[in-house]
Chain A
Amino acid sequence: MKTYSATRRRFVQGLAAGGVLAATPAWLQAAVKGATALGSAPVLSGREIDLVIAETPVNFTGVTRMATTINGSIPAPTLRLREGDDVTIRVTNRLPVDTSIHWHGILLPYQMDGVPGISFKGIAPGETFVYRFKLQQSGTYWYHSHSAFQEMTGMYGALIIEPREEKHRADQDYVVELSDWTDEDPMRALSKLKVQSDVYNFNRSTFFDFTDDVSKMGLQAALEKRQMWNQMRMSPTDLADLSAATFTFLMNGTTPAGNWNGLFQRGDRVRLRFINAASNSFYDVRIPGLKLTVIQADGQDVEPVTVDEFRFGPGETYDVMVEPQDDAYTIFAQSMERSGYARGTLSVRQGLTAPVPEPDSPEWLTMKDMMGAMGGGAMGHDMMKMDSMGQTKMDHSQMSGGMAMDHSMHGMQQGSDNPLAKPSSTIRHARTEYGASVDQRVDTPSTNLDDPGIGLRNLSQRGLRPQGHRVLTLADLKSIDGVLDDRRPPARELELHLTGNMERYSWSFDGLEFGKSTPVSLRHNERVRIILQNDTMMTHPMHLHGMWSELETDQGELRVRRHTIPVQPAQRISFLTTPHDLGRWAWHCHLLFHMDAGMFREVVVS
């Protein structure tokens, strides 16, 4: 459909054999030997692991670049460890600069968490740091550098902790690790965003889009469609900061042209451990022809839910069971801004392929994404919600009148004395949200969890997917019994807002970038509610280190245990946590550029 020049195609599709270059130093040979030709990472297991960080030449697009790698591979080796084990992981730094490894989603002593400046000093050039911790959990996790942009330049790998008793029988078990590669120096890319924040957006609204709309809907409607956006200096196609204009999207370190291949035999139950290890890319994942049964989210068991497609952001993981019957299927992961995709194949033998879909056209953000509940008139979705939960909506619209005693009202409805039975719906903007660091504040946030998000709404009705196509939402995720083991109600409630200024390319909590912020202080073993309200138009995957984030509904019903919670534009969500481990922890948006621009807080547990 689209015509690309040859170089453009190679850039987007990547080199078929793209990846780490063959000439590998001798000390890396052992590690690389385990890697297959298809780009799957080597597997390391046991109680003692040695990792070496070094610069390694790679070529994904036709251009040779230096990557930062762990044991010379991209992705880094998959670590298969065992629940209950005490593990020792020695990390040696052969880079000319400091490095670190963070074990994403793992509960451990804070000194082992691997965030330079918060948990430890970092690992200096030539040094070996020894991580020692006990694995208190099981499931699919990952690990990555927490220093500068090293994660973006290759330092990420899967971390699988096998449970003492495996509940999920599978005949094949594959890690599907999605990431994004850029030939640019990441700091240069960030610096370009500082100059022109839509520098990577090639789906901006043009004059001819406008004339098209005029002929379709008339001048008045076409103008109205744009008025709010133009007045507010916001772009309705600002779905991601980076795109295929700089990224080559990877599946298990393999370009779309390289086509990562996982094999199965007919009748197999195949477990796919999806990890979003991208620096800045949300992925919408589907396997045309297969139902996806989600069995775990962020490594933790959920009540199995069968869907056709799911979206996940950097830091999130989903374990999915599939039962393929045909010869070949495409695993298709298009990026949220629709500029490209990562892709691989599941097949009964090597070399088979299945049709590869085209990426969808990018959909304009809606008023709901800008304003939340009050902006959602366009969607039948919201109307339905209003019918079924009229009472809640009533509260919300009254809220617009500035009611401050929502707490007591909620309490009465619940028939409970606890004013914290439900998350507060009174919106409290920080005073620091009224400065140059914030370009918008949301006063009518949505609180429902069943919105699949921009680009994934009403896909069947719009003819983009077959009838009955189901997209996973947060509302579909429910931890199985026994996972959420702290049933205490929260003793207190904190509210923080996710904020930003797209034009200046600044991101923050409460309008304060990291350097101006103070830590959030939590008390050891307290049960506390944290409300996150997203005052921006982008989805932020919020990752809290050192403790679980246990998502609840706006009615205070505890739902699912996560380590990374995506918060949609103009959405207000809340989660409970119990900090069992003392120390200082990082809490940040896992879009690497948002984190680095300042959407980062420290949490002190004492």
Chain B
Amino acid sequence: MKRILMKPLTNLVLAVSAFQASTALAQMDHSAMQMEASATTVDGRDPHAYSDGYTLTEGPYAQPGPRQLKLADEHAFWSVLADRLEYQKDNDSTVYDAQAWYGTTFNRFVIKAEGDISNGTLEESSTDLLWGHALNAYFDTQLGIRLDNYRDGKDRRWLAMGVQGLAPYWFELDVAAYVGEDGRTAFTAQAEYELLLTQKLILRPRAELNLYGKDDLDNGLGSGLSDLALSLRLRYEFNRQFAPYIGVEWTDTYGDTADYRRSAGRDTSDTQFVAGLRFWF
């Protein structure tokens, strides 16, 4: 009964998230053009037109030596966000999903780490090491590598290229395509939204899906749409940087991935209650 109801829902959600991703990307591409088209103005003024050829270090009255005055636009900042550090009740496992960056406003080194720990050992993990560069006002392109590790499977290495940022209507998107060894390819998309119930109580829906180019029997992943996870987390921000949460996450698998799971005697979908912490510094 549950499964029957879930299927159409899944399809609907899938369609919606795919649509969101594609419209957001389209908007990203076209936003600059649209703006230009609607501008009522003379565009393309040279921002250096008033300099008479002088620079911050050359020209009359410049201080001798290398430039001394450097502001925060040339300062490297860093941040670590533990977005999900949670205990999943039915699996009896701990899941982490963290992201860290170091760099300037427009160029950053980014690490994304996700993993699943149960019975004291790391079951599987996925780590992205990326160079992020601002694509437009709201999105960064990210290029780098991804390392997948499996306790009971085969480790995989990928080249990664993705886009991460904030889409219109405040959807946080993280979309990436991967190319691995032996002609393997993969695609992941994540979308999140924050609904403020109060200034401190925040409901956060999240969707994630994974696709693969070909079957990976060693790791139980099938080609095509492999899995989809939908979740809701309710957090309370004691302060903006520290928030415990509770939530529920529903995962479904498809195609060969689902078949692999069935033949291994595992459920193809499940619903987890989770409790965890979100913090950043």
CB distance from A274 to the nearest CB of B (A): 28
**Contact present for B68 and A514 (CB under 8 Å):** no
CB distance from A455 to the nearest CB of B (A): 19
Residues on A with beta carbons closer than 8 Å to the beta carbon of B50: 494, 496, 520-521
Interface residues of A, count at CB 8 A: 80
Residues on B with beta carbons closer than 8 Å to the beta carbon of A432: 47
Known pairs A503-B138, A600-B71; A431 contacts B44 (CB<8 A): yes
CB distance from B79 to the nearest CB of A (A): 5
Is A512 in the interface zone, CB < 8 Å from B? yes
Is A191 in the interface zone, CB < 8 Å from B? yes
Tell me which residues from 497 to 531 in chain A have a Cβ below 8 Å from any Cβ of chain B.
501, 503-506, 508-521
CB distance from A479 to the nearest CB of B (A): 26
Type the 1/0 row for B39-66, where 1 means its CB is closer than 8 Å to any CB of A: 1111111111011101110011111000
Known pairs A501-B137, A514-B73, A604-B54; A121 contacts B40 (CB<8 A): no
Residues on A with beta carbons closer than 8 Å to the beta carbon of B106: 436-437, 504
Residue in B41, B47, B280 whose CB lies within 8 Å of A427: B41
What would 18 more interface pairs be, CB under 8 Å, given A118-B69, A428-B43, A431-B44? A117-B69, A203-B199, A427-B42, A430-B44, A430-B47, A436-B134, A436-B137, A437-B137, A443-B40, A501-B105, A504-B106, A515-B73, A518-B54, A518-B56, A519-B51, A519-B59, A584-B61, A597-B73
**Contact present for B68 and A117 (CB under 8 Å):** yes
**Contact present for A230 and B169 (CB under 8 Å):** yes
A203–B131 alpha-carbon span in the complex (Å): 35
**Contact present for A596 and B56 (CB under 8 Å):** no
Is A337 in the interface zone, CB < 8 Å from B? no
Chain B interface size, as a band, is: 35 or more
Q: Across chains A and B, which 8 residue pairs bring their CB atoms closest together, nearest first?
A: A117-B69, A513-B73, A436-B134, A117-B68, A518-B51, A427-B41, A598-B73, A521-B52
Residues on A with beta carbons closer than 8 Å to the beta carbon of B138: 233, 439, 503
B38, B60, B67, B70 — most chain A CB neighbours (10 Å): B60
CB distance from A225 to the nearest CB of B (A): 14
Residues on B with beta carbons closer than 8 Å to the beta carbon of A505: 105
Tell me which residues from 18 to 55 in chain B have a Cβ below 8 Å from any Cβ of chain A.
32, 35-36, 38-48, 50-52, 54-55
Known pairs A206-B199, A606-B60; A506 contacts B73 (CB<8 A): yes
Tell me which residues from 197 to 237 in chain B have a Cβ below 8 Å from any Cβ of chain A.
197-199, 203
**Contact present for A443 and B39 (CB under 8 Å):** yes
A135–B273 alpha-carbon span in the complex (Å): 72
Type the 1/0 row for B222-260, where 1 means its CB is closer than 8 Å to any CB of A: 000000000000000000110000000000000000000
**Contact present for A204 and B196 (CB under 8 Å):** yes
CB distance from B47 to the nearest CB of A (A): 4
**Contact present for B40 and A199 (CB under 8 Å):** no
CB contacts between A and B, total, < 8 Å: 192
**Contact present for B46 and A439 (CB under 8 Å):** no
CB distance from A183 to the nearest CB of B (A): 13
Please list the residues of chain A having a beta carbon within 8 angstroms of any beta carbon in chain B.
110, 115-118, 120-122, 190-192, 194-196, 199, 202-208, 230-233, 399-402, 404, 426-432, 434-439, 441, 443-444, 494-496, 501, 503-506, 508-521, 582-584, 595-598, 600, 602, 604, 606
Residue in B32, B52, B79, B168 whose CB lies within 8 Å of A434: B32
**Contact present for A441 and B56 (CB under 8 Å):** no
Residues on B with beta carbons closer than 8 Å to the beta carbon of A444: 40
B74, B135, B167 — most chain A CB neighbours (10 Å): B74
**Contact present for B79 and A515 (CB under 8 Å):** no
Residue in A190, A435, A511 whose CB lies within 8 Å of B72: A190
CB distance from A475 to the nearest CB of B (A): 25
**Contact present for A596 and B36 (CB under 8 Å):** no
A233–B238 alpha-carbon span in the complex (Å): 25
Is B166 in the interface zone, CB < 8 Å from A? yes
**Contact present for A521 and B72 (CB under 8 Å):** no
List the A residue with the shortest CB-CB distance to B74. Answer: A515
**Contact present for B61 and A597 (CB under 8 Å):** no
A506–B74 alpha-carbon span in the complex (Å): 11
**Contact present for A596 and B72 (CB under 8 Å):** yes
Known pairs A191-B79, A207-B196, A598-B73; A604 contacts B61 (CB<8 A): yes
Tell me which residues from 58 to 101 in chain B have a Cβ below 8 Å from any Cβ of chain A.
59-63, 67-74, 77-79, 81
Residues on A with beta carbons closer than 8 Å to the beta carbon of B105: 194, 437, 501, 504-506, 513
**Contact present for A199 and B240 (CB under 8 Å):** yes
A600–B72 alpha-carbon span in the complex (Å): 11
CB distance from A544 to the nearest CB of B (A): 14
CB distance from B175 to the nearest CB of A (A): 17
List the A residue with the shortest CB-CB distance to B80. Answer: A195
Residue in B54, B69, B73, B79 whose CB lies within 8 Å of A195: B79
CB distance from B41 to the nearest CB of A (A): 4
Residue in A117, A120, A191, A429 whose CB lies within 8 Å of B77: A191
Known pairs A232-B168, A504-B137; A604 contacts B60 (CB<8 A): yes
A596–B71 alpha-carbon span in the complex (Å): 5
**Contact present for B45 and A495 (CB under 8 Å):** yes
**Contact present for A513 and B71 (CB under 8 Å):** yes
Is B6 in the interface zone, CB < 8 Å from A? no
Residues on A with beta carbons closer than 8 Å to the beta carbon of B63: 117-118, 120-121, 584
List the B residue with the shortest CB-CB distance to A201. Answer: B199
Residues on A with beta carbons closer than 8 Å to the beta carbon of B46: 430-431
Is B13 in the interface zone, CB < 8 Å from A? no
List the A residue with the shortest CB-CB distance to B70. Answer: A515
**Contact present for B61 and A595 (CB under 8 Å):** no
13 A-B contact pairs sorted by A residue (CB < 8 Å) = A192-B241, A204-B196, A205-B196, A207-B197, A233-B168, A437-B105, A441-B35, A443-B41, A511-B47, A517-B56, A596-B72, A604-B59, A604-B61
**Contact present for A521 and B54 (CB under 8 Å):** yes
**Contact present for B137 and A598 (CB under 8 Å):** no
CB distance from B166 to the nearest CB of A (A): 6
